[in-house]
Chains A and B, each alone.
Chain A
Amino acid sequence: MSRFDLREVCVRREGHLIIDRVTATIAPGRCTALVGPSGAGKTTLLRLFNRLDDPSTGTVLLDGAPLDTLDVLALRRRVGLVGQRPVLVSASVREELRVGAPHLTDDEALGLLKRVGLPAEFHERPTEGLSGGEGQRVCLARTLAVGPEVLLLDEPTSALDPEAAAAVEDTLCALLSGGLTAILVSHSAAQVQRMADDALVLRKGQLVESGPVAGVRYVNGGG
C-alpha cells in the first residue's frame, strides 16, 4: 500500500519553526507534489519520509504505523530518495547500482538501465565523466535496484539543462505510471501539472493548500 499520514508535524531548528504543524495525507499509488517558495521547508519535510531526519514533535505514519516503530533500514529500502544533484559514491556504474543491492545480477542491472533510459554499455562506464542527466539516471536506477514502493524526488531535474530535464522527466513519468507512490518536490508548475496527481503547498513551514493538482491555485497561476 504505502500511504503516508502526517499528524501535527513540527520541525524546529535552532529555535526556528521550519515545519509548522503540518497535517496531511499522501495517497498510495499517486504522485504528490510538494511545492512552495524557496525556503518554505519542502526539503526538510521530504527528509522525514525516509527518516533522514525526525520531526521535533508530531508523527509521520506509513500505512498507519508511526515511522519510529518500523525498522529504519527496512523503511529506507521501501522509501527511496533521489536528490537534486546526482551524488555518485562509486567508481563505476556497475558498483553504483549495487551499493544498496549487492546481489544484483547483470541481467537485472541492464534491465534497470533500460528502465531509466540508459543504453546497456553504461553498465561498464566509470562514474567519472557522466553528464548531469546521465548521473541522475544512474542515481534513479541505483534507487530502483533496492525495489522501493515509494520514491521521494527532491527537484530531480532542476540541476539539469532543459533537454536532459525533459528526458529525465519522461523517464520518471513512465516509472510513476507503473504504480509507484511518489512525492515530488518541484519548482516548476508545468512539471507539477505534467507529473503530479495531488499537490501540497507549503509556505513558511505551514501547509496552506492541498488537493488534486487541477484545483490547487499555487500550481495554476493563482500564487
Chain B
Amino acid sequence: MSSPAVPEWTGVALSVSLVGLAVLIAWRQRLGLAREIVIAGVRAGVQLFLVGAVLLFLFKHAGLPGGFAWLAVMVVIAGQVAGRRGKGLRHSRYVATAAVAIAAAVTMGVLMAFGVIQTTPRVVVPVGGMVVSGSMAATGVTLSRMVAEVRGQRAAIEARLSLGLSAAAAFAPHRRELLRTALIPTLDSTKVVGLISLPGAMTGLILAGVSPEVAIRYQIVVMYMLLAAAVMAALAAAELGQRMLFTAAQQLR
C-alpha cells in the first residue's frame, strides 16, 4: 500500500488516534495529564486550521502588503510573549517588541534585498514566521537573564557606579555574561544541525518530495538567518533593556 507524500484529510483524522493513545496512557498511569493533552491537542489543531485559512486568504487575495501586515501581527504577539519573560523590567513588552521587530526587519530586509528569497507572501510569511519565532526566543531569554542578573548582582553594579563608572560601563560585564547565556542554545543547535536534528524546514521539504540537495540549500539559508536574527534580537534586547535599568543620572532603578 503506497501513501501519498502529504497526508490526505482522512490521514489527518486518523492521526488523532495518536493523541487518543497518549491520553489513554496518561489516564492509565494516573499522570493527571489526560485533560491537558486533550486541550493541547485540540488547541494545536484549531490554531493550525485557522492559520491555514488565514494563509490561504493571504496568498490568494491580500498580496504582499497583506503578508507584511501578517508579519507585523506576529511581531507584536512575539513581543508580548518575550516581554513577559522580562517581568520586573520597566516597559519590558515594548523593549521585547522593538527587539523582535529590529531583528526581523534587518534579517528579512537582507534576505529580500539580496534576492535570496522571493518577495511573495507565500515565501515572506512562513520565512518571516521562523525569523520572528527565533527572535522571540532569544529576546525572551535575554530579558529574563537581565532581570535575574540585576537581582543577583545589584551590589556589584552599584559598587562600580560608586567608583564613577557610567551605567553602561558598570553593566558591561553582566551584559556580556547574559548575552553569552542567551545565545548558547542557538549556537549549540546551529553546531549540531543535521547531525542530531533534521530541522523543520528541511523535514518538511523532504516529506513533500523535494530532493535533499534542494532541501539543504533551503536549510542552510534558514539556519544562517535564524542565527543572525537571534544574535540581533539578543543584542537589541540587551541594549534597549539596559536603558530601562538605569536612570538618566546613572542610577540603578
CB within 8 Å of B: which residues of A? 50-54, 68, 72-74, 76-77, 80-81, 83, 85, 87, 89, 99-100, 139, 142-143, 146
Contact = CB atoms under 8 A, between A and B. Distances in A.
Given A68-B249, A72-B249, A72-B250, A52 B158 contact: yes
B181 interface: no
A102 B252 CA distance: 23
A146 B249 CA distance: 20
B251 A83 contact: no
Contacts of B166: 73
B164 A146 contact: yes
A73 B250 contact: yes
Interface in B133-167: 155-156, 158-166
B159 A83 contact: yes
Nearest to B173: A89
Given A73-B165, A99-B165, A100-B160, 12 more contacts: A50-B162, A51-B249, A54-B249, A72-B249, A77-B163, A83-B159, A87-B156, A89-B156, A89-B159, A89-B160, A89-B173, A100-B164
A80 B161 CA distance: 10
Contacts of B155: 83, 85, 87
A76 B162 contact: yes
14 contacts: A50-B162, A52-B161, A52-B162, A68-B249, A73-B164, A73-B166, A74-B164, A76-B161, A76-B163, A83-B155, A87-B155, A87-B156, A89-B173, A100-B165
Contacts of A85: 155
A146 B165 CA distance: 11
A120 to B, nearest CB: 22
Band of interface residues on B: 10 to 19
B17 to A, nearest CB: 56
Given A73-B164, A100-B164, A87 B249 contact: no
Nearest to B247: A54
Contacts of B161: 52, 76
Closest 4 CB pairs of A and B: A100-B163, A77-B164, A81-B162, A87-B155
A87 to B, nearest CB: 4
Contacts of B173: 89
A52 to B, nearest CB: 6
Contact of A51 (B159, B160, B251): B251
A54 B248 CA distance: 12
Contacts of B159: 83, 87, 89, 139
B168 to A, nearest CB: 11
B250 A99 contact: no
A52 B164 contact: no
A137 to B, nearest CB: 15
Nearest to A84: B155
Nearest to A74: B164
Contacts of A77: 163-164
